[in-house]
Amino acid sequence: MPWRDFAEELVGTSKEAIKKLAEYAEDYRIYPRSINKLGKSFFFLAKVEQKKKLIILNESKHFESFNGEIEEFAGFKAKVAPLNHHNAQRLRKLFPHTAPKVLGNKNPSIGLGDRLGIATPGHIDAVKESEVMPVFAQQSVRELNLTNRSFEAVLDDVSWAVFQEGYEDGFAADADHLKNKNEVETALDIGYTMITLDCTDYINNLREGITFQELKAQYEEIADYLKDGLESQYLNKTFVLGSNHELEYNKMNFYKIVLTYYQIIDFAKEIYHLIKKESKEIDFEISIDETSLPTSAEAHFFVANELKRNGININSLAPRFVGSFEKGIDYIGSLDKFEKHFKIHAEIADRFGHKLSIHSGSDKFSLYPIIGHHTKGRVHVKTAGTNWLEALRVLAENDPALFRDIYYYAQKKYKDAKEYYHVSTELVDIPDLARLSDKELSELLEIDEARQLLHITYGFILEAKKDGDYLFRDKLYKFWEKHDKEYRKALEFHIIKHLKKLGFYN
Ligand SMILES: O=C(O)[C@@H](O)[C@H](O)[C@H](O)C(=O)CO
């Protein structure tokens, strides 16, 4: 609701009254794009005693459904409501634009993981002029464990930000890298619209150099009914794709593919039954990207076809591509080899009607023209850590002392952090801060080794404590609140750079 309409409805058209309200609004930092009217009540966000609150002006039936205090605001009776989970649930019911939507066939889509809970305004600025469907709420179980956050908190942070910004173009919520039924049920109960099922625990990573005899012996141990069904579908068969590319299944690769992937089908089927019980559509993504070897085209086709044969409809699938997709840095590998394999994966995805999901999808600028071209926009690019790095860029530019402290701490924790993430940077490769002036610190965010150091140590930095108190967390959030405009700008620039390279931003 435009500020002028709000002001005139609230205090009438007298210039004096509107001026007084505007001064009050300035003092309380009313977020003008958050103003909504529902029935007799006005809803908006404002800073009250330095804390963001939901203000509901003019009593109505809505007063009771939000918890908070009755106070006076600008001379009016108001409910001043904390941005807690109960009120976020009520907000999503009253203002549907603050609740996540399913991606469906809206393409392209981009996952914008936010490890801090404060990135959504910048993400909105980045996508609002584009055709891209954003997943603003996206965190993996790994990220939640490392930051001590919950799926509720991730979605609530997004709903409040979407309300604050008055963003009404829709967003999705991806519960990422779930590994069991309980995690899926939790995410669905909260209202997530996308489930990314991590099949790692059901993938049998065969020993490199396994002999045919060893393969055959392991294959013979699989139940006959399974083998018969699969052999009749694939063994010694060739499938020709639209580009005339042939997928051949001989004994060697057939045994390898079956032994590696056959168990994920039952796992996916169990989870799919949960999803089908939902009253609304859910985007189902199958993630097989965290394997020791790249996903071959024949393996992708086999998994997609077996999911289809078992009646499991997926919206996206994340294979492991050739080369190296490491956190926070560009692709490592031959672009020609990547393109040769990627276009076949894109063709297989097209044939089965799902889209490719590019995990560790940020910063792969050398690949984006290839990805955009061969998917023609039917693709999901997943990012997260790069949004954390942009927050650190703003820190380096504005509080060098705090940046130095967390950088040194990150170096101390790097070995522990590598237990959670596969990155090639070794501690010895990491640039030493001592030689850099304060003005040079932000240049570290352009150096791969420094980016990987900071990218994977986020949880250790945020959770670091001394004598029970946070070493950095409170100082960092206070800093980012003060520099929220710079952070928005940095994110907008950085994510638009991704979208332009992908060809998704004119
Ligand atoms: O760090 C994580 O666990 C997530 O960001 C995860 O890697 C996610 O699926 C991703 O690929 C984001 O780029």
Residue 59 above 80 pLDDT? no
pLDDT of residue 25: 83
pLDDT of res. 18: 85
Mean pLDDT of 417-439: 95
pLDDT: which is higher, 21 or 479: 479
Higher pLDDT, 356 or 242: 356
Provide the pLDDT for residue 504: 96
The pLDDT score that the predictor gives to residue 10 is 86
- Residue 327 annotated as binding? yes
Distance, in Å, from the CA atom of 427 to the CA atom of 241, rounded to the nearest integer, reads 45
Count of beta carbons in the 10 Å neighbourhood of residue 13:
10
pTM here is 0.96
pLDDT value for 28:
79
**Residue of 114, 157, 283, 285 with catalytic role:** 285
The answer to whether 273 is a known ligand-binding residue is: no
Beta bridge partners of 42: 37, 57
Task: Show me where the domains of the chain are located.
Answer: 3-82, 387-495
Active site residue 176: yes
Please give the pLDDT value at position 11.
84
Cβ(457) – ligand 1 distance below 6 Å: no
The mean of the pLDDT values for the chain is 96
379-383 and 109-112: which strand pairing? Answer: parallel
The C-alpha angle with vertex 336 and arms to 331 and 342, in degrees rounded to 5, equals 75
Residue 367: the pLDDT is 98
Q: What is the DSSP string of 26-82?
A: HHTTB-GGG-EEETTEEEEEEEETTEEEEEEES--HHHHHS-SEEEEETTEEEEEEE
Q: How many CB atoms lie within 10 A of CB 27?
A: 11
- DSSP states of 348-399: HHHHHT-EEEETT-TT-TTTHHHHHHHHTT-EEEEE-HHHHHHHHHHHHHH-
CA distance 338 to 303: 20
Confidence category of residue 290, pLDDT binned at 50, 70, 90? confident
pLDDT digits (tens, 9 = 90+) for 165-215: 999 999 999 999 999 999 999 999 999 999 999 999 999 999 989 999 999
| Range with lowest mean pLDDT among 111-120, 133-142, 219-228, 245-254 | 219-228
More confident residue, 25 or 248: 248
Assess whether the C-beta atom of 399 lies below 6 angstroms from ligand 1. no
Q: Pull the structure tokens for residue 49.
A: 């005693």
| pLDDT attached to residue 499 | 98
Widest pairwise Cα distance in the chain: 89
Q: Tell whether 359 is in a known binding site.
A: yes
CA dist., res. 25 & res. 31, Å (int): 9
Q: How far is the CA of 46 from the centre of ligand 1 (A)?
A: 33
**What is the average pLDDT across 440-455?**
98
Position in ligand 1 atom list of the atom nearest CA 327: 13
- Average pLDDT score over residue span 118-134: 97
* DSSP-derived 3-state class of residue 469: strand
Q: Specify the pLDDT at position 63.
A: 86
Is 278 an active-site residue? no
**Ligand 1 pocket, 380 CB below 6 A?**
no
Which residue in 114, 156, 176, 326 is the catalytic one? Answer: 176
DSSP state at residue 333: S
**Is residue 250's pLDDT more than 90?**
yes
pLDDT at 225: 87
Rounded Cα distance between 460 and 468, Å, is 15
Mean pLDDT of the 337-359 span: 98
For the Cβ of 114 lying below 6 angstroms from any atom of ligand 1, the answer is: no
How much is the pLDDT for 152? 98
Q: Look up residue 64 and give its two tokens.
A: 């009771």
Assign 20 a pLDDT band (cuts: 50, 70, 90): confident
